[in-house]
Structure 1
C-alpha cells in the first residue's frame, strides 16, 4: 500500500512538473518575448530595409567623400608654384615670382662678394636668398592667411545658420557672409558664389573651397553642404553642429599650443645656444676660435657640428609640433 502511494505521488509530481514545463518555461526563458520580437521585426521588415538602404546610401556618400579627401591630399603634396601663390593671396604670376627670386638671389650674391665674403659664401647665401627665402615667405603668407580664415569661419557659419532658420536660401545666406565678412573669408565666399553663378552646383562649388584653402575645416564645410545637396536633410542643424565642432577644434588647438609653449621655448634656447656661444667667444678671443674655419680639421669639425645641429633641430621640431 505504501509503495502504491509513493508511486502515485511520484507520477503526480512528474505530471505537474511536465505541465509546468510546457506552460511556464516559455515565459521564464524569454522564448515568447523572442517570438514576439521576431514577429514585430517581420511586420516592420519593409521599414527596416528602407532605413538600411538609406544608411547604405549615406555610407557610400561618406566613403566617396573620404576618397575625394585622399585624392585632394595627394594633389596637395604636389602643388605647383601657381597654386601656392594663389593660396598665399598674392596676385603674382609664376614668371614674376621666379624673376623676383632670381634678382634677389643675384643681388645677395653680388653684395656678399663686394663685402669680401668669399666666393663659396656668396654662392651659398645667394642660393638661399634666391631659392629658399622667397618660398619661406610664400609659406608664411599662406599660413597667416589660413589662420585669418580659421578665425572668421565659425562666425560665418553661424550667420549662415541664422539666415537659413530665418527662411533665406543657402545662396542668399552665403551672399550675406560674402558682403560682410573680413578677408580672406570674403574673397573665398565670393569665389564660391561666382563659381555657382556660372552653372556649377553649389555643393561642388563649396567643395572647391578646399583647393584654395587647404584646411580640414574648409573641407568639413564643403562636405556638409555637398552631402546636404545630394541627400537632403536639416542643413541648419548640420551647419550648427559644424560650427560647434569648429569652435571646439579651435579651443583644443589653442590649448595644445599653450601646453607646448614651454617645450618650444626650451627647444629654441637649446638650438640657439651653440651659435650664441660661438659669437661670444669670437668677440672675446677671435684667434682661439678662428681655427674652426682656417684649419682643415677645424673646417671638418665645423661641418660635422652644423650637420648634427640640423639633425637635432629637426628632431626637436618633430617632438614639439603637433598635427591638428
Structure 2
C-alpha cells in the first residue's frame, strides 16, 4: 500500500516537473517597453516641411485656387492638402530647373520649371480618370451588393453602408462619404447626385434616381436595382465593342503623329549633317513651324474622328 502511494507521488512529481519544464513561462516585459512612449524628435527636414506647409496654408486661407483645388485632389484620390501639393509642385520645379541647368543650360532649366505646374495638372487628370474608370468598372458589383442588402431586409442607408464595407476603393470611399454626409443631415439624393457628378458617371445618376423614386412611390427597390444593373452591363458591353472598333483608328493616329519625329531622329542618327539646313536657314524654320501647325490640326481632326460619344 505504501509502495503504491509512493509510486503515485513520484509520478505526480514527475508530471509536475514535466509541465514546469514544457510549459513556457510568462515572458518578462523589457524595461524600455514599460516606460512611457517617447516619440523620436522630428528631423530638420520634417520640421522645415511642416513649417512650409503651415505657411502655405496661412497664405491660402480664405482664397480659392482653381489650378489645384480641393475637388481636384479629392477626385484624384490624393490625401493631400492644397499646400502640400503646391510644395510638391514647387519642389518638382526646382528639381527640373537644376536638371535642365546641369544637362543643357539655364533656358532649358527655366522651361522645365515653368512646365512643372502643367505636369502636376496632367498627373491629377490622369489619376482622376483612372479612379473614375475603376469606379465605373466596380459599379455592377456595387449594385449587386445593394440589391442583396435590400433583400436581406436592410434599409437603403444600411445597404449602402454594407456596400462601402465590402467594396474596394474608390467605391468604398465614395459610399462611405455618402453615409457620412447623410448622417450629418444631408439629403440622400443630394449626396448621391454629388457622387455621380464628382465621378462623372451617368450610370450612377440612374441609381440615385431609382432610389429617390422608390422613396417617393415605394415598390421593390432590389428588383429595380437588378434591372438597372442589367442595363448598365449592356451599356458596358456596347462600350467595349466601340473601344475595340476605335482602337485601330487610335493606333493609326499614334503612328502618324510619331512618324515625323521618328524619321527626323533616324536621319540625325544616320547622317547628322543632312538636316543642318533645316535648323539654320530661315526657310527651314518656316517649314518646321508649318509642320507643327499642320500636325496639330491633323491630330485634333483624328481625335475628333475616333473620340466617340456614347
SS of 2:78's equivalent in the other structure is coil
Q: Which of 84, 90, 97 in structure 1 is aligned with 2:72?
A: 84
Structure 1 position 170, deviation (Å) = 1.4
Structure 1 position 197, deviation (Å) = 1.2
Structure 1 position 163, deviation (Å) = 2.2
User: Residues 231 and 216 of structure 1: is their aligned pair in 2 closer, same or farther, counting only changes over 3 Å?
Assistant: same
Cross-structure match for 1:199: 185
Whole-Å separation in 2 of the counterparts to 1:80 and 1:100: 12
Deviations 1:86-138 (A, max 9, x none): 1010012222223322331232233222222562x44434322x122111111
Q: Say whether 1:253 aligns with 2:239.
A: yes
Please say if residues 206 and 226 of structure 1, whose CA atoms lie closer than 8 Å, have aligned partners that are also in contact.
no
Structure 1 position 296, deviation (Å) = 2.8
Cross-structure match for 1:99: 87
Q: Say whether 1:225 aligns with 2:234.
A: no
User: Residues 214 and 132 of structure 1: is their aligned pair in 2 closer, same or farther, counting only changes over 3 Å?
Assistant: same
Whole-Å separation in 2 of the counterparts to 1:181 and 1:88: 18
Structure 1 position 315, deviation (Å) = 1.3
Structure 1 position 282, deviation (Å) = 0.6
Please say if residues 208 and 222 of structure 1, whose CA atoms lie closer than 8 Å, have aligned partners that are also in contact.
no
Whole-Å separation in 1 of the counterparts to 2:276 and 2:113: 24
User: Residues 95 and 203 of structure 1: is their aligned pair in 2 closer, same or farther, counting only changes over 3 Å?
Assistant: same
SS of 1:290's equivalent in the other structure is helix
Whole-Å separation in 2 of the counterparts to 1:100 and 1:295: 42
Q: Which of 115, 127, 137 in structure 1 is aligned with 2:114?
A: 127
Deviations 1:296-316 (A, max 9, x none): 332222122112212211211
Whole-Å separation in 1 of the counterparts to 2:85 and 2:183: 31
Deviations 1:180-236 (A, max 9, x none): 111111111111111111122323322221243221122222222223223433322
Deviations 1:127-181 (A, max 9, x none): 22x1221111111111111111111111111121122223221122112211111
Structure 1 position 83, deviation (Å) = 0.9
Greater gyration radius = 1
Equivalences for 1:96-245 in 2 at 5 Å? 96-117=84-105, 119=107, 121-128=108-115, 130-245=116-231
Please say if residues 182 and 191 of structure 2, whose CA atoms lie closer than 8 Å, have aligned partners that are also in contact.
yes
Cross-structure match for 1:43: none
Structure 1 position 251, deviation (Å) = 0.8
- 234-243 vs 262-271, which deviates more? 234-243
More helix by share: 1
What value does the CA root-mean-square deviation take over the aligned residues? 2.0
| Structure 2 residues without counterparts, runs of 5 or longer | 1-65
Cross-structure match for 1:29: none
Whole-Å separation in 2 of the counterparts to 1:284 and 1:301: 22
SS of 2:177's equivalent in the other structure is helix
User: Residues 151 and 287 of structure 1: is their aligned pair in 2 closer, same or farther, counting only changes over 3 Å?
Assistant: same
The TM-score normalised by the length of structure 1 is 0.70
User: Residues 79 and 160 of structure 1: is their aligned pair in 2 closer, same or farther, counting only changes over 3 Å?
Assistant: farther
The TM-score normalised by the length of structure 2 is 0.73
| Structure 1 residues without counterparts, runs of 5 or longer | 1-77
Please say if residues 204 and 226 of structure 1, whose CA atoms lie closer than 8 Å, have aligned partners that are also in contact.
no
